[in-house]
Amino acid sequence: MSIQIRNLNKRFGATVVCDNLNLDIPSGELVALLGPSGSGKTSLLRIIAGLERPDSGSVLFHGADTTHDDVRDRNVGFVFQHYALFAHMSIFENVAFGLRVRPKATRPSEAKIREKVMDLLKLVQLDWIADRFPHQLSGGQRQRIALARALAVEPKVLLLDEPFGALDAKVRKELRRWLRRLHDEVHVTSVFVTHDQDEAMEVADRVVVMNKGRIEQDGTPDEVYDRPATPFVLQFLGDVNLFHGRFGHAPGGSVEPGDVSYVRPHELEILAAPQDGALPVTLSQALTVGPQTRIEFKRVDDGSYVDVEMPRSEYNALRDRLNLVTGSQVHLLPRRVTRFAAGQNPVVEQVDPAALI
Ligand SMILES: Nc1ncnc2c1ncn2[C@@H]1O[C@H](COP(=O)(O)OP(=O)(O)OP(=O)(O)O)[C@@H](O)[C@H]1O
């Protein structure tokens, strides 16, 4: 079931939460709505679900306008961050619930319900706890059951709102991989809301980056990361250093007022000697966390800070080779620069590695 969003507008008082949104979600895709708190992700999801009415615009399911359909007629499945399971029902009964409440005419037989529920519990790898009650499960297990329950009614669309938001970092990581594998098996068109860029990049086929009720960019994880359409997208998808004007081996042309160059910390080379396009800096501090070292440098020209990141072993070798200590002067040369010229589309400048030797 594909989803089309057309000229969708929604505001709460003075707050615009959907600002003329247009979006196409192909059938069977797993799409992440990614953005900071208050960017309108949940509102868009609730409008797709039919839990909220837009002020104008439409939501189409496979070309059919559902904007005014009741939530019960849309056949969507939900998983919310705090969508608690029914505490007084066993896990089996929680998953069976959506099938049992169907009108008699469409309700499956008891044998069919049992078969379906056990299949779903196997799918979420929790068939061994069918007889337990929700309070006997961990948070991660409860969310897997919530997902099995949502899938029981064979929804045309699955909507997930920060499904792993309440779980600790390690369980979150496990569950997002698990969700990806699950989606590869069931292929139901799924939209999930997250403010965590790693989660979006790792799980989704496509990432929709939202900001202030607008879609800043919509693309595959690689597209939004490698070719960010706006400075907002670039900054939201990871740490980045900002340089006013041009930086690096930019091909000719004059610097326009408002030109801004961005370089990610792992895209900077540390050189002992000055080189054309390199920036003189002094070493301020180096911090190692796990396998990565983050080195903070201070610019000689204006005293502002620039971050560089590299594998710990690489940094240790470089430090020994160049005798780096706090205050040492070196030069930073970008391997890759994303430049946003004032009022124009972004330009990505990839530096020829040969130029770095
Ligand atoms: N029912 C409502 N009444 C009034 N304002 C609302 C309502 N729902 C949402 N808002 C406001 O709309 C804005 C967008 O909210 P929304 O929940 O869609 O954003 P979000 O990107 O999902 O944020 P979060 O990650 O914090 O949930 C927020 O400023 C919020 O306070």
Q: Is 337 helix (H, G, I), strand (E, B) or coil?
A: strand
Q: CA-to-CA distance for 173 and 51, rounded, in angstroms?
A: 29
Residue nearest to atom 13 of ligand 1 (CA): 38
> Which of 17, 159, 232 to probe ligand 1 with, by most ligand atoms within 8 A of CB?
17
Count of domains forming the chain: 2
In a domain, 256, yes or no: yes
- Domain boundary among the residues 213, 236, 259 is at 236
Q: pTM for this one?
A: 0.86
Residue nearest to atom 10 of ligand 1 (CA): 12
Tell me how far the alpha carbon of residue 40 lies from the centroid of ligand 1, in angstroms.
6
Nearest to 160 by CA among 203, 221, 119, 99: 203
**Same domain, yes or no, for 19 and 101?**
yes
**Same domain, yes or no, for 79 and 97?**
yes
Nearest to 228 by CA among 236, 259, 343: 236
What's the pLDDT at 98?
86
Tell me how far the alpha carbon of residue 16 lies from the centroid of ligand 1, in angstroms.
9
**Same domain, yes or no, for 129 and 270?**
no
Tell me how far the alpha carbon of residue 12 lies from the centroid of ligand 1, in angstroms.
9
Query: Within 13 A of 164's CA, how many CA atoms are on the CB side?
Result: 23
Report residues whose beta carbon is within 6 angstroms of any ligand 1 atom.
12, 15, 17, 35, 37-43, 195
Q: What CATH code is carried by the domain that includes residue 309?
A: 2.40.50.100
**Same domain, yes or no, for 86 and 196?**
yes
Query: In ligand 1, which atom is closest to the CA atom of 193?
Result: 22
In a domain, 278, yes or no: yes
**Same domain, yes or no, for 114 and 262?**
no
> Which of 8, 11, 15 to probe ligand 1 with, by most ligand atoms within 8 A of CB?
15
What's the pLDDT at 356?
45
Residue nearest to atom 30 of ligand 1 (CA): 38
- Domain boundary among the residues 175, 202, 236 is at 236
**Same domain, yes or no, for 268 and 154?**
no
In a domain, 206, yes or no: yes
Residue nearest to atom 28 of ligand 1 (CA): 38
> Other C-beta atoms within 10 Å of 334: how many?
26
> Which residue range forms the structural domain that includes residue 36?
3-236
**Which residue is listed with tokens 């201070």?**
298
In a domain, 189, yes or no: yes
- Domain boundary among the residues 195, 213, 236 is at 236
In a domain, 17, yes or no: yes
**Same domain, yes or no, for 328 and 260?**
yes
**Same domain, yes or no, for 142 and 222?**
yes
**Same domain, yes or no, for 310 and 263?**
yes
Tell me how far the alpha carbon of residue 195 lies from the centroid of ligand 1, in angstroms.
13
Q: What is the DSSP string of 302-332?
A: T--EEEEEEEHHHHHHHHHHHT--TT-EEEE
Tens digits of pLDDT across the chain (357 residues): 899 999 999 999 999 999 999 999 999 999 999 999 999 999 999 999 888 999 999 999 988 888 888 777 778 888 887 767 888 999 999 999 988 888 888 888 899 999 999 988 988 888 898 999 999 988 888 888 988 898 888 888 999 998 888 778 887 888 888 888 888 888 899 999 999 999 999 999 999 999 999 999 999 999 999 889 998 999 999 999 998 877 765 555 556 667 788 999 999 999 999 988 889 999 999 999 999 999 999 999 889 999 999 999 999 999 999 999 999 999 999 988 888 876 666 666 665 545 444
| pLDDT, tens digit, 9 for 90 and up, residues 62-81 | 888 888 887 777 788 888 87
Tell me how far the alpha carbon of residue 344 lies from the centroid of ligand 1, in angstroms.
31
**Same domain, yes or no, for 116 and 149?**
yes
What's the pLDDT at 156?
87
Q: CA-to-CA distance for 339 and 244, rounded, in angstroms?
A: 10
Q: What CATH code is carried by the domain that includes residue 31?
A: 3.40.50.300
Q: Is 169 helix (H, G, I), strand (E, B) or coil?
A: helix
**Same domain, yes or no, for 124 and 47?**
yes
**Same domain, yes or no, for 214 and 289?**
no
In a domain, 357, yes or no: no
- ipTM score assigned to the predicted complex: 0.92
Q: CA-to-CA distance for 271 and 290, rounded, in angstroms?
A: 24
In a domain, 245, yes or no: yes
Query: Within 13 A of 310's CA, how many CA atoms are on the CB side?
Result: 15
In a domain, 198, yes or no: yes
Q: What is the DSSP string of 18-70?
A: EEEEEEEE-TT-EEEEE--TTSSHHHHHHHHHTSS--SEEEEEETTEE-TTS-
Q: CA-to-CA distance for 175 and 173, rounded, in angstroms?
A: 5
